[in-house]
C-alpha cells in the first residue's frame, strides 16, 4: 500500500527515466515491508532455526511485492480517477504524465514476476505452503486498488494491511526458515500489523476529502475525521499494550519491552495526527513508517538479548 512519502508533490524538473521509476517505486514505503520480515528473522534466530538464504529471499520478495503494489496503486488509482490535481500526497507519475499507464502496469507485473521467481526458490526450500503465501500476497497487492472489488475503495484496506503486513509477513518469514509457525510468532506479529495499519490510517486521514470526491470509500471516509483519529490512537496504543501483555505473560521475553523506547517517536506522532489536517500529514506519514521500523528493530533486539 502506498504509505510513506516525503512531502514532495511537484513534478521533478526534466527527470530521467530512472528517476521517474524510482519515484513510482516510492522507496520510502519499503521500511513498512522490511519491518515484519526483520522481526520474523529475529524470531527464527531466537528459536535456533535461522536460515540465511531463505530469510534473505523473504526480505527481497517482500520488498518487490511492496514495489509492485506501489506501481499497482499508481496505475489503478489513475484509471479510477482517484488521482487528481487536488491530491495532497506526493506526486503520482501516471497522473502527472511522467509515465504512460501501460508502462507502470508493465512495471507492476515485472516486480510481481521477479517476486514469484524468488518464491520458486522458497518453495524448493520450505515447501508448497509458500505458494499460497505468495499468491495471496500478490493478489492482495493488486486487489488493493484494482480488480472488480478494490479493497481500498471498499473500506477493507485496513484489515488486509493488518493481515498481510503483520501475520502473513512475520509468519511467512518464520515459516520459510523453520517449516512451521509457532504461537509466539503469530502473537508477536500483532503489534507490527497494528503499526502498519496505522500508517495507512494516516494516509487515508489526509485524503478523506479527495477520496470522497473520487468515490473511494476507505474506512477513513466511513468513520470521518474524528473516528479515523481515534482509530489511529487505538492502533498505536494497541501495539504497545499487546507487547506489554506478551512480555508479562511470558509469551515473549522481557526484552520485548525495549519497544517502549520508541514512545519518543509515537507520542509526538499521535499529537500531530490528532490535531493536524492536510498536507502536513505527509510528514506524519513518514513518521509512522519510522515508528514501525524502529519498533520492529527494538523488538528484534529484545528477542535476542
Q: What is the pLDDT of residues 3-19, one digit of tens each?
A: 333 334 445 567 888 88
Q: What is the mean pLDDT of residues 72-85?
A: 76
CA–CA dist 256, 214 (Å, integer): 42
CA angle (114, 150, 75) in 5-degree steps: 55
Predicted confidence band of residue 34 (pLDDT cuts 50, 70, 90):
very high
Please tell me the predicted confidence (pLDDT) of residue 84. Answer: 56
DSSP state of 11: P
pLDDT in tens, 202-239: 999 999 988 888 888 999 999 999 999 999 999 999 99
Q: Which architecture, in CATH terms, is 17-304?
A: Orthogonal Bundle (1.10)
pLDDT in tens, 147-199: 888 898 899 999 999 999 999 999 999 999 999 999 999 999 999 999 999 99
**Torsions phi, psi for 66 (to 5 deg):** -65, -45
Please tell me the predicted confidence (pLDDT) of residue 78. Answer: 83
* Lowest mean pLDDT, pick from 227-231, 254-258, 286-290: 286-290
| pTM for the predicted model, two decimal places | 0.90
CA–CA dist 198, 259 (Å, integer): 16
Q: Are 210 and 225 in contact, with CB atoms under 8 Å apart?
A: no
Spans of all domains in the chain: 17-304
Contacts of 69 (CB under 8 A, 6+ apart): 1, 2, 141, 142, 144
Please tell me the predicted confidence (pLDDT) of residue 277. Answer: 85
Q: What is the mean pLDDT of residues 269-283?
A: 91
Please tell me the predicted confidence (pLDDT) of residue 88. Answer: 56
Q: Note every long-range contact of 155-161, with CB atoms under 8 Å and residues 24 or more positions apart, other chains counting.
A: 155/217, 155/218, 155/219, 155/221, 155/222, 156/219, 157/1, 157/200, 157/204, 157/218, 157/219, 158/197, 158/200, 158/201, 158/219, 158/231, 161/1, 161/193, 161/196, 161/197, 161/199, 161/200
Please tell me the predicted confidence (pLDDT) of residue 152. Answer: 87
Please tell me the predicted confidence (pLDDT) of residue 1. Answer: 44
Q: What is the mean pLDDT of the chain?
A: 90
CA–CA dist 92, 164 (Å, integer): 24
Q: Where are the beta strands (DSSP E) in the chain?
A: none
- What share of residues in the chain are helix, strand, coil (percent, to 5)? 75, 0, 25
Is the per-residue pLDDT at 89 higher than 70? Answer: no
Share of the chain above pLDDT 70, in %: 92
3-class DSSP state for residue 290? helix
Predicted confidence band of residue 28 (pLDDT cuts 50, 70, 90):
confident
Please tell me the predicted confidence (pLDDT) of residue 69. Answer: 93
Amino acid at each position: 500500500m502506498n504509505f510513506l512519502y516525503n512531502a514532495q508533490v511537484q513534478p521533478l524538473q526534466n527527470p530521467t527515466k530512472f528517476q521517474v521509476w524510482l519515484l513510482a517505486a516510492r522507496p520510502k514505503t519499503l521500511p513498512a515491508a522490511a519491518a515484519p520480515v526483520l522481526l520474523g528473522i529475529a524470531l527464527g534466530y531466537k528459536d535456533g532455526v535461522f536460515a540465511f538464504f531463505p530469510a534473505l529471499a523473504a526480505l527481497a520478495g517482500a520488498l518487490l511485492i511492496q514495489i509492485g503494489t506501489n506501481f499497482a496503486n499508481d496505475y489503478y488509482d489513475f484509471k479510477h480517477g482517484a488521482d487528481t490535481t487536488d491530491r495532497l500526497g506526493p506526486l503520482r507519475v501516471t497522473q502527472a504524465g511522467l509515465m504512460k499507464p501501460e508502462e507502470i502496469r508493465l512495471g507492476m507485473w515485472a516486480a510481481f514476476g521477479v517476486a514469484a521467481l524468488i518464491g520458486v526458490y522458497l518453495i524448493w526450500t520450505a515447501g508448497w505452503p509458500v505458494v499460497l503465501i505468495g499468491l495471496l500476497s500478490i493478489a492482495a497487492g493488486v486487489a488493493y486498488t484494482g480488480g472488480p472489488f478494490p479493497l481500498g475503495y471498499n473500506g477493507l484496506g485496513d484489515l488486509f494491511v493488518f493481515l498481510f503486513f503483520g501475520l502473513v509477513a512475520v509468519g511467512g518469514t518464520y515459516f520459510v526458515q523453520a517449516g512451521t509457525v509457532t504461537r509466539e510468532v503469530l502473537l508477536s506479529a500483532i503489534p507490527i500489523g497494528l503499526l502498519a495499519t496505522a500508517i495507512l490510517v494516516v494516509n487515508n486521514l489526509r485524503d478523506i476529502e479527495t477520496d470522497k470526491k473520487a468515490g473511494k470509500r476507505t474506512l477513513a471516509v466511513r468513520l470521518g475525521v474524528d473516528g479515523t483519529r481515534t482509530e489511529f490512537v487505538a492502533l498505536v496504543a494497541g501495539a504497545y499494550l499487546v507487547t506489554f501483555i506478551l512480555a508479562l505473560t511470558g509469551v515473549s521475553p522481557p526484552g520485548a519491552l525495549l519497544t517502549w523506547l520508541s514512545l519518543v517517536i509515537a507520542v509526538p506522532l499521535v499529537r500531530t495526527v490528532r490535531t493536524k489536517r492536510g498536507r502536513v500529514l505527509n510528514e506524519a506519514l513518514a513518521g509512522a513508517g519510522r515508528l514501525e521500523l524502529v519498533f520492529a528493530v527494538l523488538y528484534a533486539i529484545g528477542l535476542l538479548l
